Chains A and B, each alone.
Chain A
Amino acid sequence: SQQGEEDPQALSIQEGENATMNCSYKTSINNLQWYRQNSGRGLVHLILIRSNEREKHSGRLRVTLDTSKKSSSLLITASRAADTASYFCATPNMEYGNKLVFGAGTILRVKS
């Protein structure tokens, strides 16, 4: 299975702390994407990192990609209560039209 796997499954932190989530995958990729989902809602695209990039920033988000280890991390700095959500990594299956394969997600709870 190509499926990305997020770690940890759940994370609870205090507002202002940093949150780090990890994603591992199994096959070669040309990019990796992170999405956020608030409870019972649709997914929102956060960031896309290509396979030739090692790190990317977007506001309070920092994503790293290590293709040799087939892993990625998402760091949210100075977390806020509004960051409470599920976070998913998604990798494209290049054999099937870059179909996105989503992991099971990390549930992040930020306590105020």
Chain B
Amino acid sequence: ETGVTQTPRHLVMGMTNKKSLKCEQHLGHNAMYWYKQSAKKPLELMFVYNFKEQTENNSVPSRFSPECPNSSHLFLHLHTLQPEDSALYLCASSQVWGRVNEQFFGPGTRLTVL
């Protein structure tokens, strides 16, 4: 399998549920990202991991908890979300954080919070 994969592709959860989003990249990259894309808003960077270390947390609420066990896998743990958290969550990877390089995106997880 190539590129960046994300599971699940669709997720519906209640506000009291706990769920996790998974991302895997098969590109040998060292940087991985979580983005949030809401309707009619620009893409928002949430977290950045570089060589498994978190380098960016853009003031994301603690109900979103990222985990990067290795350079190929990235998780986003979700807990007590709000309806306004409904969005498309995109994972991306690149060679390394901080340098000029393109990002490769997964297909996204469409999250609906009821």
Contacts and interface: CB of A to CB of B under 8 A. Distances in A.
Contact of A44 (B55, B98, B100, B105): B105
Contact of B55 (A42, A97, A100): A97
Main secondary structure of the interface of A (DSSP, over half): strand
A42 B98 contact: no
B102 interface: yes
Interface string B102-114: 1111111010000
Contact size class for A? 20 to 34
A59 interface: no
Contacts of A33: 102
A47 to B, nearest CB: 9
Interface of B: 4, 6, 40-43, 45, 48, 55-56, 88, 90, 92, 97-100, 102-108, 110
